[in-house]
């Protein structure tokens, strides 16, 4: 299992549309994705669980990948958090 800390950059935080886009990326990966914040964890493929993290702009989350494409998973999700994909 590999993990990395990532910062939520979208001005409205991890809201429904952004969470849905995140799950689309996570579900396309082989690895199981988990997102953690303030002692809570969410399945990266669940919009509802991601929303329950209440990650506002500037929040730091830990994203973990476990499976056959861990490095690629973290790279793609890191791009999602840092770039023009909404977060």
How many CA atoms are closer than 13 Å to the CA of 9, on its beta-carbon side?
13
- The CA distance from 63 to 60, in Å, is 10
- The CA distance from 69 to 86, in Å, is 23
User: Choosing from 9, 15, 36, 76, which is the catalytic residue?
Assistant: 15
- Tell me, yes or no, if 12 is annotated catalytic: no
Residues with catalytic annotation?
Answer: 15
């Amino acid at each position: 299992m590999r993990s990395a800390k990532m910062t939520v950059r979208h001005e409205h935080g991890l809201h429904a549309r952004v969470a849905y886009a995140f799950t689309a990326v996570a579900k396309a990966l082989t690895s199981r994705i988990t997102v953690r914040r303030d002692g809570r964890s969410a399945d990266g493929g669940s919009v509802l669980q991601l929303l329950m993290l209440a990650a506002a702009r500037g929040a730091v989350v830990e994203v973990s990948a476990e499976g056959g494409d861990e490095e690629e998973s973290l790279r793609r999700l890191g791009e999602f958090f840092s770039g023009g994909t909404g977060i």
